[in-house]
């Protein structure tokens, strides 16, 4: 396995819509293994393929990575098929370093996708898992959590990043 490079804002692939996976082959299985290792080592609790430079619809998530009940979730071609309620949650992102902000999301969702065996799975999620799945599915649609903020908050972050780059701190 390998730890992959995590793309960071403003890399272009982060705003690209990922392509559906049509065949779950050895390459997809290897990608998932590398993504999981990358997510755990970052450390993070979710990672979409676009964040590692691959424009394919696959995500991994584990909201309790340091607990015995930890379980890696792998979803291929995930889609939200039902959503209800609203919650505001402070989010961060491996692709948007050194920044957290409150984001409005659905409180409960149902997500449908495929597992690594190509079987259809459906996950009913609430709480942190619902937030993580929405966040990662956004990535697969080319949306960052900062895109869900007010223009003022988004512009403040972008300005701060431009200053870091100008100072050679990227």
- Return the exposure string of 89-109: e unless at least 16 CB atoms fall within 10 Å of the residue's CB, then b: bebebbbbeebebebebbbeb
Q: Is 136 a catalytic residue?
A: yes
* Residue 73 near residue 61, CB atoms below 8 Å: yes
CA separation for the pair 128, 45 (Å, rounded): 10
Q: Which residues pair with 56 in a beta bridge?
A: 19
The pair of structure tokens assigned to 113 is: 């996708």
Do 112 and 137 contact (CB within 8 A), yes or no?
no
Taking the C-alpha atoms of residue 61 and residue 44, their distance in angstroms, rounded to an integer, is: 8
- The set of catalytic residues is 136
């Amino acid at each position: 396995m390998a730890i992959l490079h995590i793309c960071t804002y403003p890399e272009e692939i982060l705003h690209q819509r990922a392509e559906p996976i049509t065949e779950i082959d050895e390459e997809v299985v290897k990608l998932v293994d590398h993504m999981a290792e990358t997510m755990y080592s970052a450390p993070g609790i979710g990672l979409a393929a676009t964040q590692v430079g691959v424009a394919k619809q696959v995500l991994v998530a584990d909201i309790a990575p340091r607990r015995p009940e930890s379980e890696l979730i792998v979803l291929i071609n995930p889609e939200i098929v039902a959503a209800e309620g609203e919650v505001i949650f402070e989010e961060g992102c491996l692709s948007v370093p050194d920044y957290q902000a409150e984001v409005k999301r659905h409180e409960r969702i149902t997500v449908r996708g495929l597992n690594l065996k190509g079987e259809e799975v459906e996950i009913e999620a609430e709480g942190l898992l619902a937030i993580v799945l929405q966040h990662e599915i956004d990535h697969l649609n080319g949306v960052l959590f900062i895109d869900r903020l007010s223009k003022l908050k988004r512009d403040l972050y972008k300005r701060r990043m431009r200053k870091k780059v100008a100072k050679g701190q990227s």
